[in-house]
């Protein structure tokens, strides 16, 4: 039975030799039952600590954690019906694959026949039937990962926790196992929480994404919203590859109204949001994919540095004349060479505008109405 | 022409490899012959003679018969086995217990770990003095406690009482050699992936189940090697017993090695002494064969 997970003002600190390190700070969120939720963020942002608190391997310093209506804050891991897949895979090296998968059932007192039936079923699903009598050391990395998933699967958990399970695998295996994990989610009646530092995994697999920044919740939203409507510069930078371009600008009052004036552009801005910000330093964000080689309401000059080919697309890593780094992605940049001066266009609808503290002032939809007079 | 050269070069290569093999193997073989094979063969040879150091006369197996049929031989053998098994098992349990404690990240664990090396470093004589002092009937703290708490009415002279001498020697030995098991087991414990325990907890295993199903299998190889080498060493142990009790009182702590010493240097009967040493050798060899057959210690946990 899948259960929702509620975190209420959860804080976790580690004390060592007089110093206090806050790993997770004032985290409040509700993960819907049966959903696939990804915890994402850079190393050290507290995502694994959060997962371990859900598993019961760490106890929150403050705050409350509950599964549905049941308060599990002080409950030991044995008493929560969780299953967890560890980053190090953590297969028992002295047990065969069959015993590895069945260990959880065995300690819970499931009879042998029932155990074997469920192990065979899980092995079937994960295509590791031939490996059942082998030792973990005889398996490849991908097969070991399948065994770890299998032992989580047979327990029929309420909550399935995955801690960067694919970080050691190559790209092809990752893609394969991504599908496997999603299939497991569909077959299991469980709330899945998945930790990764890889935003591609987060974006492709999940119903919603929790993005953490130094132990604090930055944004909790479905992947699409995270991509299209980041609440801060941090989110915009973290989600999407290459990273969102950040162009420094100031709010200026012009004859046409208000404008976001940067190096070589002046984007018209609505008065209701910017009238009281005249003179403020702001940052304009634009995704590299939205800088196009032709067209666009506004233009930006980019001096090309390194050009990378990604299949059909080309990534230009360059900078503006005043030295701000800018990346642009398009199929049209094939002929660009180092030192070339490009003029790329963009539409106001694709912009994000952040204040000096990195919080979002508005997204492109608020700017899109303000069409410049000179454009056709 | 080219075939000839290639054959010749491969021959040269072969010779070179063989030379290297010989050059490394010969010194080793010579060394082992000199310090190992010859003394053993010599000692076993001596055991077949009557009065081998002076007027040697061939006696066949009569020395062996004499030893094995001696009235007190079963007692000496029993003492040896009792001493070897009890000290090995208890030093293993002591080391295991302390290693498990230190492996939990408790406060003062590193201090305890450092302190554990001291019994092993202390000279045997000092260890014996410490325990004779502790067990002393007049000033020993152990007797004082036992009397104070009403366990015994009168102090016991542990090292010189027939019933307690073996126990006193065994306690002294366990105290000294417990750290051997401790360090081997601690190193093994620290090599276990902590995630295995976390996974077991999430899967619902109790602390005891995790110990039984993860810790014990990981320690199996180390425990078996400790049992083997510690068992052999304790079976052959001479100094700690002889220096604390001289095999007494009334042969209560006379083990086979002490009997060998008595035969050789008190009774000047080298024939019988070497015969008994030979018997010990064959006993241990027999036990070792059984050990390797039964436990298959090479079946270690693989990573």
Instruction: Give residue-wise pLDDT tens across range B23-65.
Output: 999 999 999 999 999 998 888 888 888 877 777 778 778 888 8
Residues of B in contact with A94 (CB under 8 A): 217-218, 301-302
Sign of the CA dihedral B191, B195, B198, B199? negative
Which range marks the domain in which residue B34 is found? 2-46
The DSSP call for residue A158 is S
Chain A contact probe: residue of B195, B202, B211 with most A CBs at under 10 A = B202
Phi and psi at residue A243, to the nearest 5°? -65, 155
- What is the residue whose two structure tokens read 């990240």? B105
Total of domains in chain B: 2
Q: Decide if pLDDT at A54 tops 80.
A: yes
Q: Which of A179, A203, A230 is the last residue of a domain?
A: A230
User: Is residue A302 domain-shared with residue A345, that is, in the same domain?
Assistant: yes
Asked whether residue B183 is assigned to any structural domain, the reply reads yes
∠ CA(A232), CA(A238), CA(A241), 5° rounding? 130
Q: Decide if pLDDT at B286 tops 50.
A: yes
CATH of the domain at A82: 3.40.50.300
Higher pLDDT, A104 or B300: A104
User: Is residue B19 domain-shared with residue B160, that is, in the same domain?
Assistant: no
Residues of A in contact with B301 (CB under 8 A): 93-94
Asked whether residue A347 is assigned to any structural domain, the reply reads yes
B60: tokens are 């066949």
User: Is residue A328 domain-shared with residue A268, that is, in the same domain?
Assistant: yes
Question: How sure is the predictor about A374, in pLDDT bands with cuts at 50, 70 and 90?
Answer: very low
- % residues pLDDT > 90 (chain B): 31
Q: Please report the pLDDT score of residue B55 as a whole number.
A: 73
Average pLDDT, chain B: 86
Which range marks the domain in which residue A97 is found? 5-230
Q: Looking at the complex, does the CB of residue A108 fall below 8 Å from at least one CB of chain B?
A: yes
Q: Please report the pLDDT score of residue B3 as a whole number.
A: 56
B31: tokens are 């060394």
User: Is residue A192 domain-shared with residue A337, that is, in the same domain?
Assistant: no
Asked whether residue A375 is assigned to any structural domain, the reply reads no
Question: How sure is the predictor about B8, in pLDDT bands with cuts at 50, 70 and 90?
Answer: low
Asked whether residue A28 is assigned to any structural domain, the reply reads yes
| Residue pair A46/A54 in contact by the 8 Å Cβ criterion | no
User: Is residue B144 domain-shared with residue B267, that is, in the same domain?
Assistant: yes
Q: Decide if pLDDT at A145 tops 60.
A: yes
| Residue pair A65/A8 in contact by the 8 Å Cβ criterion | yes
Q: Please report the pLDDT score of residue B184 as a whole number.
A: 92
User: Is residue B107 domain-shared with residue B38, that is, in the same domain?
Assistant: no
Asked whether residue A372 is assigned to any structural domain, the reply reads no
The neighbouring-strand residues paired with A8 are A64
Higher pLDDT, A362 or B55: A362
Q: Please report the pLDDT score of residue A97 as a whole number.
A: 92
Q: In what order do the strands lie in the sheet with A325-330?
A: A325-330, A313-319, A298-310, A341-346
User: Is residue B249 domain-shared with residue B185, that is, in the same domain?
Assistant: yes
> A 142-161 residues with CB below 8 A of B?
151, 155, 161
Q: In what order do the strands lie in the sheet with A19-31?
A: A19-31, A5-16, A62-67, A70-71
Sign of the CA dihedral B160, B163, B166, B170? negative
Chain B contact probe: residue of A92, A153, A160, A193 with most B CBs at under 10 A = A92
Asked whether residue B246 is assigned to any structural domain, the reply reads yes
Q: Please report the pLDDT score of residue B31 as a whole number.
A: 94
User: Is residue A251 domain-shared with residue A105, that is, in the same domain?
Assistant: no
User: Is residue A269 domain-shared with residue A332, that is, in the same domain?
Assistant: yes
Average pLDDT of the residues in A57-70: 89
Q: How far apart are CA A35 and CA B91, in angstroms?
A: 54
User: Is residue A188 domain-shared with residue A287, that is, in the same domain?
Assistant: no
Q: Looking at the complex, does the CB of residue A92 fall below 8 Å from at least one CB of chain B?
A: yes
| Residue pair A327/A288 in contact by the 8 Å Cβ criterion | yes
Total of domains in chain A: 2
Q: How far apart are CA B246 and CA B236, in angstroms?
A: 15
User: Is residue B144 domain-shared with residue B90, that is, in the same domain?
Assistant: yes
Average pLDDT of the residues in B244-260: 86
Contact B301 A88 (CB under 8 A): no
User: Is residue A269 domain-shared with residue A217, that is, in the same domain?
Assistant: no
A81: tokens are 């019906």
Q: How far apart are CA A292 and CA A343, in angstroms?
A: 9
Residues of A in contact with B214 (CB under 8 A): 92
Phi and psi at residue A114, to the nearest 5°? -60, -40
- What is the chain A residue with the closest CA to B196? A90
Question: How sure is the predictor about B181, in pLDDT bands with cuts at 50, 70 and 90?
Answer: very high
CATH of the domain at B289: 1.10.3720.10
The DSSP call for residue A375 is -
Q: Please report the pLDDT score of residue A43 as a whole number.
A: 85
Asked whether residue A180 is assigned to any structural domain, the reply reads yes
- What is the chain A residue with the closest CA to B200? A104
Q: Which of A171, A196, A230 is the last residue of a domain?
A: A230
By C-alpha distance, which of A296, A284, A287 is closest to A345? A296
Asked whether residue B59 is assigned to any structural domain, the reply reads no
Asked whether residue A201 is assigned to any structural domain, the reply reads yes
Asked whether residue A235 is assigned to any structural domain, the reply reads no
Asked whether residue A207 is assigned to any structural domain, the reply reads yes
**A296-342 pLDDT, tens per residue?**
888 888 898 888 888 888 899 999 888 889 999 988 888 888 888 88
User: Is residue B207 domain-shared with residue B290, that is, in the same domain?
Assistant: yes
Asked whether residue B222 is assigned to any structural domain, the reply reads yes
A337: tokens are 């060479």
User: Is residue B114 domain-shared with residue B257, that is, in the same domain?
Assistant: yes
User: Is residue B182 domain-shared with residue B36, that is, in the same domain?
Assistant: no
The B-side interface with A (CB below 8 A) comprises 193, 195-196, 198-206, 209, 213-214, 217-218, 301-303
Asked whether residue B56 is assigned to any structural domain, the reply reads no
- Centroid of chain to Cα B132: 22
Residues of B in contact with A151 (CB under 8 A): 203
User: Is residue B42 domain-shared with residue B132, that is, in the same domain?
Assistant: no
User: Is residue A222 domain-shared with residue A252, that is, in the same domain?
Assistant: no
User: Is residue A192 domain-shared with residue A212, that is, in the same domain?
Assistant: yes
ipTM: 0.82
Which run of H or E residues covers position A315?
strand A313-319
Chain A contact probe: residue of B203, B213, B219, B301 with most A CBs at under 10 A = B203
Q: Which of A195, A230, A265 is the last residue of a domain?
A: A230
| Residue pair A39/A212 in contact by the 8 Å Cβ criterion | yes
User: Is residue A127 domain-shared with residue A200, that is, in the same domain?
Assistant: yes
By C-alpha distance, which of A291, A278, A297 is closest to A247? A291
């Amino acid at each position: 039975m899948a259960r929702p997970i509620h975190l209420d003002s959860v804080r976790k600190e580690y004390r060592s030799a007089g110093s206090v390190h806050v790993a997770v700070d004032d985290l409040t969120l509700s993960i819907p039952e049966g959903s696939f939720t990804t915890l994402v963020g850079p190393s050290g942002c507290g995502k694994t600590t959060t997962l371990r608190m859900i598993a019961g391997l760490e106890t929150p310093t403050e705050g409350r954690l509950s599964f549905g209506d049941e308060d599990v804050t002080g409950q030991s891991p044995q008493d929560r019906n969780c299953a967890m897949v560890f980053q190090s895979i953590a297969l028992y090296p002295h047990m065969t694959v069959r015993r590895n998968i069945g260990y959880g059932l065995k300690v819970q007192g499931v009879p042998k026949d029932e155990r074997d039936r469920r192990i065979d079923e899980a092995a079937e699903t994960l295509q590791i039937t031939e490996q059942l009598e082998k030792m973990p050391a005889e398996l490849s990395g991908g097969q070991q990962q399948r065994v770890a998933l299998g032992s989580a699967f047979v327990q029929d958990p309420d909550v399935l926790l995955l801690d960067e399970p694919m970080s050691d695998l190559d790209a092809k295996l990752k893609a394969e196992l991504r599908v496997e994990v999603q299939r497991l989610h569909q077959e299991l009646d469980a709330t899945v929480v998945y930790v990764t530092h890889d935003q591609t995994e987060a974006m492709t697999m999940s119903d919603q994404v929790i993005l953490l920044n130094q132990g604090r919740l930055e944004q909790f939203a479905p992947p699409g919203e995270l991509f299209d409507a980041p609440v801060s510069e941090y989110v915009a930078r973290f989600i999407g590859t290459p990273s969102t371009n950040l162009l420094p600008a100031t709010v200026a009052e012009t004859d046409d109204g208000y404008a976001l004036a940067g190096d070589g552009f002046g984007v018209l801005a609505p008065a209701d949001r910017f009238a009281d910000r005249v003179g403020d330093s702001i940052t304009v964000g634009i995704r590299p994919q939205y800088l196009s080689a032709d067209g666009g309401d506004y233009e930006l000059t980019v001096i090309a540095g390194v050009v990378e080919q990604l299949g059909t697309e080309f990534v230009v890593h360059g900078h503006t004349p005043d030295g701000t780094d800018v990346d642009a992605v398009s199929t049209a940049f094939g002929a660009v060479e180092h030192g070339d001066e490009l003029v790329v266009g963009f539409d106001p609808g694709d912009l994000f505008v952040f204040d000096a503290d990195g919080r979002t002032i508005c997204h492109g939809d608020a700017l899109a109405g303000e069409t410049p007079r000179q454009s056709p | 022409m080219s075939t000839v050269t290639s054959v010749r070069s491969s021959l040269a290569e072969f010779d070179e490899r063989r030379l290297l093999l010989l050059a490394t193997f010969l010194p080793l073989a010579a060394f082992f012959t000199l310090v190992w094979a010859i003394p053993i063969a010599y000692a076993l040879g001596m055991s077949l003679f009557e009065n081998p150091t002076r007027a040697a006369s061939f006696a066949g197996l009569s020395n062996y018969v004499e030893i094995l049929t001696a009235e007190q031989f079963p007692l000496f053998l029993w003492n040896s086995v009792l001493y070897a098994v009890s000290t090995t098992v208890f030093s293993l349990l002591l080391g295991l217990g302390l290693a498990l404690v230190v492996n939990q990240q408790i406060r003062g664990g590193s201090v305890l770990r450092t302190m554990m090396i001291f019994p092993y470093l202390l000279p045997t004589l000092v260890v014996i003095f410490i325990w004779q002092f502790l067990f002393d009937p007049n000033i020993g703290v152990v007797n004082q406690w036992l009397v104070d708490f009403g366990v015994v009415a009168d102090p016991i002279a542990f090292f010189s009482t027939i019933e307690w001498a073996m126990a006193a020697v065994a306690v002294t030995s366990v105290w000294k050699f417990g750290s051997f098991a401790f360090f081997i087991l601690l190193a093994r414990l620290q090599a276990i992936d902590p995630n295995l325990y976390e996974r077991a907890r999430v899967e619902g295993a109790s602390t005891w189940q995790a110990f039984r199903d993860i810790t014990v299998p990981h320690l199996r190889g180390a425990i078996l090697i400790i049992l083997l080498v510690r068992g052999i060493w304790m079976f052959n142990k001479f100094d700690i017993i002889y220096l604390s009790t001289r095999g007494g009182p009334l042969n209560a702590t006379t083990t086979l090695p002490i009997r060998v010493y008595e035969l050789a240097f008190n009774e000047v009967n080298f024939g019988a002494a070497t015969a008994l040493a030979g018997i010990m050798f064959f006993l241990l060899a027999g036990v070792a064969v059984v050990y390797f057959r039964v436990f298959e210690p090479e079946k270690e946990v693989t990573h």
